[in-house]
Chains A and B, each alone.
Chain A
Amino acid sequence: MKTPLTALALALMATAAVAEYPEKPVEVVVGYSAGGGTDVMARTVAQFLERELGDGASVVVKNMPGAGGQIGFTEVSEAAPDGYTLGTFNLPAALALTKDRAADYDVDSFTYLANFVEDPNTITVAATSPFQTLDELIDAAKADPGAITLGLSSLGGNDHFAANMMQDASGAEFTLVPFKGASNARTAIMGGHVAAGTMTLGQTSNFPDDLRVLALLANERSPFRPDVPTAKELGYDVQMSSLRGIVAPAGLDDATTDQLRAALSAVNENPDFQAMMAEQGNPIAFKVGGDFAAIAAEQDGIAAQIWAETPWK
């Protein structure tokens, strides 16, 4: 009789604990400055998560910018897994930087709660560019290997991986030019200083008159730009994107994990939330729990492979 009783007591305690969480403000650590894309997503999610957690819960966004997000990711991985420290998680950036430098965390340092945004990469040229299709661009790159320059937002990010995977799939050789950030890369593409670029669809969205998107590196066409073909349709099986989700430190207990995952799913189902995200131009690809963890593991593998084959530093 003793064991079932203990189990019951434990279960009761667990329920009590769940009922009490959150009893103090929940912090969402953002590894980038206020006002950026990740920060805006975190603040939007936080606002709706507060309502879902109920009982006057408070969810606070804390910006810890620096070292390409590494300071924030490290902070989350090292925080107590008590559900009071969550963090935004950017793929593949967060895991790519564990390859090229000594980071204090890896793919197993987190409890994957839910991914919200998936912004697919593209192959984009200036509106004034002579290249009208992806094939024209690739043919030019094959005709004179290295003559076609591709602008990237940085090395070791989704732009870079997209370019690498495109090279592998097509057999063409590009000269990769890593700018300091997406907006510098975009300006250089628009000014014709590089022939093309791999920025994400979201980063092209405000410039329909200045940029021509040749292909989308995704499995399916985007509802934002149904006119743009996928690379897969054109015969190059390449998928790469920038993902943004919410994680907690590894070792978060199951009850809190489930509660947070349920709350984040409810956030996602809220039409107001969907409307706000659409207004911000954030394509939602909601993946909760195990699905999110699987994406992280897959991205970790891609980063490891590219790092092994063509280390970028």
Chain B
Amino acid sequence: MYSDLFHALPDVFAWTNFAAVVIGVIAGIVVGAMPGLSATMAISVLVPFTFGLEPLVALGLMAGIYNGAMYGGAIPAVLLRIPGTPAAVATTFDGYPMAQKGEGGFALQVAVVSSSIGGIASAFALMLLAPPLSKVTLLFGPSEVFWVAVFGLASIIFLLGGNPVKGLISACFGVFVSVIGSDPIYGNDRFTFGQLEMLDGINIVILLVGLYALPPVIDLLETPLKTDGVNSSKLGTEPIWKALPRMNYWKTWLRGSLLGIWIGILPGAGGSMAAFMSYNEARRTSKHPEKWGEGEPEGVAAAEVANNADTASALIPALTLGIPGTAVAAVMLGGLLVHGLQPGPMLFRDNPDIVFGFMWQFLFGAILLVLLGGSLATNSFARLLNLPRPLLGSVIIVLMLIGVYSIHGRMFDVYLMLGFGAIGWVMDRLKFPLPPVVLGLILGGFAEENLRLALRIGRGDPMVLFQNTTSLILVALTVAVVVGPTLKKRFIDRREKA
């Protein structure tokens, strides 16, 4: 089962493939360090440009960007208290106080080492879990896939931190978008307004670029140089190998990694969720929780290890079942499909060198993070915050337009993307969360198609949905996700009363 893993190794070291990972990591850190620009955005803007590349070059870039951006988000989080990516919010809690105390350099070093450890753990999880899981994916027929999708939709509840009503509206909008196009069984047109271009439904990359890239770019252009005056001389920068012995967070790293991996596997939740949970758990079990929030390096470690630990593991359901659990995984899956790589058990059998090579690239991306992000360049990356924003915004807009046009070679998609961008901007202003839209689009489509296939197989009898163990386990998990938080809250309330 694992021999293919080692067989794939030589290809990963072909210089083009390796260079792709290096460039990806650097580009990821740069993008992640820009407040507002997330890993999802970077990958979705870049994915159309990778269509012409060799698969491992394209995938290496994506793996590198993902790993890099998850750390890059920590740079402005620590230095400016502006999370560079949504997943870096928890990093600000202790990272910024550290920077104020003049320990910004050490905070970034903790962040980069923790990120790297999380990424490495996640890559190992992908390597160990995906091959055996791919063997059982034949068990997943339409009714099982339907329940996986429902489970994912239910776990969006995780994401609804602030305002559940707004979150649900976002998710419903996503599900509505999934309905556009010809229906999956009979091929009747739905909401296409006679446009042939809409018959195949809305391409996820077009939606992602619109929703995730346009609003932050508009923000970027609206708010020129507010707090960007970083004095990098303030960063206490001793060499990273001297800083390493001061980092003794093994328990936090282990717990954060496991949490991040688990949350990555679950369809629905993502990096920011993992970072918050890891931070809270680490604080709860700490010997001196009162110091947290005032510059406790372990807090930075907890957040950063977890938000990198979900990167590779999010690909486990994507590669084995073809169900991407996060927006980034969905885009990467799109990248695989472009190269004719169909997810599922066949992928592991027919293209082992590519799929296992991709896993190695995740591992090396995570290792490179320490070398590239930590030892030589943290200071230079901090200077990125001084880049002129209008220039940056214009470059991104051009990349967006070219990228979206090149997916199918038609202007219609560009207009569609701009339309979604406008919707995304309004939603952003009204504080509607965006991730549920994406998950609604991905999982809503899966749920509808597979429900209808299952019912057809069962000749209309809904009992077909509950006929085997796999389905029943998934139903139980779904119920647990929906009811769990309420029960827990009630339990805690009762205990507090007592």
Q: Which residue of B lies closest to A149 (CB)?
A: B457
Please indicate the chain B residues that have their CB under 8 angstroms from the CB of A6 in the complex.
none
Give me 21 A-to-B residue pairs in the complex whose CB atoms sit less than 8 angstroms apart, sorted by A's number.
A33-B338, A35-B340, A64-B408, A64-B410, A65-B200, A68-B199, A68-B200, A154-B187, A155-B185, A155-B186, A175-B456, A175-B459, A177-B453, A177-B457, A178-B185, A180-B449, A183-B342, A188-B142, A190-B138, A191-B139, A312-B187
On whether the beta carbons of A177 and B456 are closer than 8 Å, the reply is yes
In the bound complex, how far is the Cα of B206 from the Cα of A155, in angstroms? 27
Closest A residue by C-beta to B188: A313
A156 CB-CB contact with B under 8 Å? yes
Give Cα A231 to B253, complex, Å: 62
| Contact yes or no, B188 A183, CB < 8 A | no
A66 beta carbon closer than 8 Å to chain B: yes
Question: Using an 8 Å CB-CB cutoff, how does the interface string of B30-64 with A read, 1 for contact, 0 for none?
Answer: 00000000000000000000010000000000000
Question: Cβ of A5 < 8 Å from any Cβ of B?
Answer: no
A313–B139 Cα distance when bound, in Å, is 30
Query: Which 7 A-B pairs rank lowest in CB-CB distance, beginning with the nearest?
Result: A193-B141, A191-B138, A67-B199, A313-B186, A35-B340, A67-B196, A183-B342
The answer for the CA separation of A156 and B186 in the assembled complex, in Å, is: 9
* A66 and B197 contacting across the interface, CB-CB below 8 Å: yes
| 0/1 string, A57-70, CB within 8 A of B gives 1 | 00000111111101
Q: Which chain B residues in 321-362 approach chain A with CB under 8 Å?
A: 338-340, 342, 344-346, 350
Cβ–Cβ < 8 Å partners of B457 in chain A: 149, 175, 177, 193-194
Nearest neighbor of A183 in chain B, beta-carbon distance: B342
Tell which of A35, A68, A100, A312 touches B339, judged by Cβ atoms closer than 8 Å.
Answer: A35
Q: Which residues of B contact A62 (CB under 8 A)?
A: 409
Within the complex, the shortest CB–CB distance from B138 to chain A, in Å, comes to: 4
User: With A and B bound together, what is the CA distance between A149 and B141 in angstroms?
Assistant: 13
Is the C-beta of B140 less than 8 angstroms from some C-beta in chain A?
Answer: yes
CB distance from A1 to the nearest CB of B (A): 54
Contact, CB under 8 Å: A64 / B409: yes
Q: How far is the CA of A156 from the CA of B182 in the complex (A)?
A: 13
Residues A183 and B141 in contact, CB atoms below 8 Å apart = no
Residues of A with C-beta under 8 A to B236: none
Q: What's the Cα separation between A313 and B190 when bound, in Å? A: 13
Q: Are B187 and A146 in contact (CB under 8 A)?
A: no
| A280 contacts partner chain B, Cβ-Cβ < 8 Å | no
A266 adjacent to chain B (CB < 8 Å)? no
Interface residues of B in 155-212 (CB under 8 A from A): 182, 184-189, 196-197, 199-200
* Chain B residues whose CB sits within 8 angstroms of the CB of A194 once the complex forms: 457
**B187 to A155, Cβ gap below 8 A?**
yes
* A187 partner residues in chain B, CB cutoff 8 A: 137-138, 344-346
Interface string of A93-115 (1 = CB under 8 A from B): 00000001100000000000000
Which residues in B have their C-beta under 8 angstroms from that of A191?
138-141
| Chain A residues whose C-beta falls within 8 Å of the C-beta of B345 in the assembled complex | 187
Q: Is A236 an interface residue (CB 8 A)?
A: no
A214 to B457, CA, bound (A): 21
Which residues B77-132 have CB closer than 8 A to chain A? none
Compute how far the CA of A188 lies from the CA of B141 in the bound complex, rounded to whole angstroms: 6
Q: Is the interface of A mostly helix, strand, loop or mixed?
A: loop
Residues of B within 8 A of A63 (CB): 408-409
Residues in A neighbouring B188, C-beta threshold 8 A: 313
B200 in contact with A67 (CB, 8 Å)? yes
Contact residue range for chain A? 35 or more
Tell me which residues across on chain A come within 8 A of B182, comparing CB atoms.
67-68
A154 to chain B, nearest CB (A): 7
Tell me if A310 is interfacial: C-beta within 8 Å of chain B.
no
Q: Please, which residues of chain B bring their CB within 8 A of the CB of A3?
A: none
Whole-angstrom distance between the Cβ of A34 and the nearest chain B Cβ: 8
Q: How far is the CB of B311 from chain A (nearest CB, A)?
A: 26
Complexed CA–CA distance, A246 and B188 (Å): 28
A64-B409, A187-B345, A206-B350 known; A74+B142 contact, CB < 8 A: no
What is the minimal beta-carbon distance from A50 to any residue of chain B, in angstroms?
A: 20
Contact A146 B196 (CB under 8 A): no
Interface membership of A71, Cβ < 8 A: yes
In the complex the two chains form, what is the Cα distance from A146 to B459 in whole Å?
8
The answer to whether A35 and B338 touch across the interface, beta carbons within 8 angstroms, is yes
With the chains together, A66 CA to B413 CA distance in Å? 12
Knowing that A34-B51, A63-B408, A312-B186 touch, tell me 16 more A-B residue pairs with CB under 8 angstroms.
Answer: A63-B409, A64-B408, A66-B199, A66-B200, A67-B197, A68-B200, A101-B187, A146-B459, A149-B457, A154-B187, A176-B456, A177-B453, A183-B346, A193-B141, A194-B457, A313-B187
- Nearest residue (CB) in A for B344 is A187
Distance in Å: Cβ of B322 to nearest Cβ of chain A: 9
**A151 → B minimal CB distance (Å):** 9
CB within 8 Å of B: which A186-238 residues:
187-188, 190-194, 206
Cβ contacts under 8 Å, A130 to chain B: none
Q: A194 vs B138: C-alpha distance in the bound complex, in angstroms?
A: 12
Residues 34-84 of A at the B interface (beta carbon under 8 Å): 34-36, 62-68, 70-71, 74
Taken residue by residue from 270 to 294, chain B's Cβ proximity to chain A (1 for < 8 Å, 0 otherwise) reads as: 0000000000000000000000000
- Residue of B140, B141, B196, B197 most packed against chain A (CB within 10 A): B196
Q: How far is the CB of B270 from chain A (nearest CB, A)?
A: 26
B142/A193 in contact, CB under 8 A: yes
- Smallest Cβ-Cβ distance to A103: which chain B residue: B196
Q: Is the CB of B408 within 8 A of A66?
A: yes
Chain B nearest CB, measured from A89 CB (Å): 18
A178 CA to B183 CA, complexed, in Å: 11
A residues 140-191 in Cβ contact with B at 8 Å = 146, 149, 154-156, 175-180, 183, 187-188, 190-191
Residues in chain A near residue B459, CB distance under 8 A: 146, 175
Contacts of B139 in A (CB 8 A): 191
Query: How far is the CB of A127 from the nearest CB of chain B, in Å?
Result: 11
A81 to chain B, nearest CB (A): 22
Q: How far is the CA of A36 from the CA of B142 in the complex (A)?
A: 24
Name the residue on B nearest A182 (C-beta): B342
Which residues of the other chain, B, contact A183 by a CB distance below 8 angstroms?
A: 342, 344, 346
Q: How far does the Cβ of B208 sit from chain A's closest Cβ, in whole Å?
A: 18
Q: Does B408 contact A65, Cβ atoms closer than 8 Å? A: yes
With contact pairs A35-B338, A190-B138 given, residues A179 and B344 touching in the complex (Cβ less than 8 Å): no
Q: By the criterion CB–CB under 8 Å, are A179 and B199 in contact? A: no
Chain B residues, Cβ within 8 Å of A154: 187
* Cα–Cα distance between A312 and B188 once the two chains are bound (Å): 10
**A130 to B185 Cα, complex, angstroms:** 28
Which residues on the B side are within 8 Å of A68 (C-beta)? 182, 187, 199-200
Give Cα A178 to B342, complex, Å.
Answer: 18
A64: B residues at CB distance < 8 A: 408-410
Write the chain A residue with the least CB distance to B184. A180
Instruction: Identify which of residues 381-436 in chain B touch chain A, using a CB-to-CB cut-off of 8 Å.
Output: 408-410
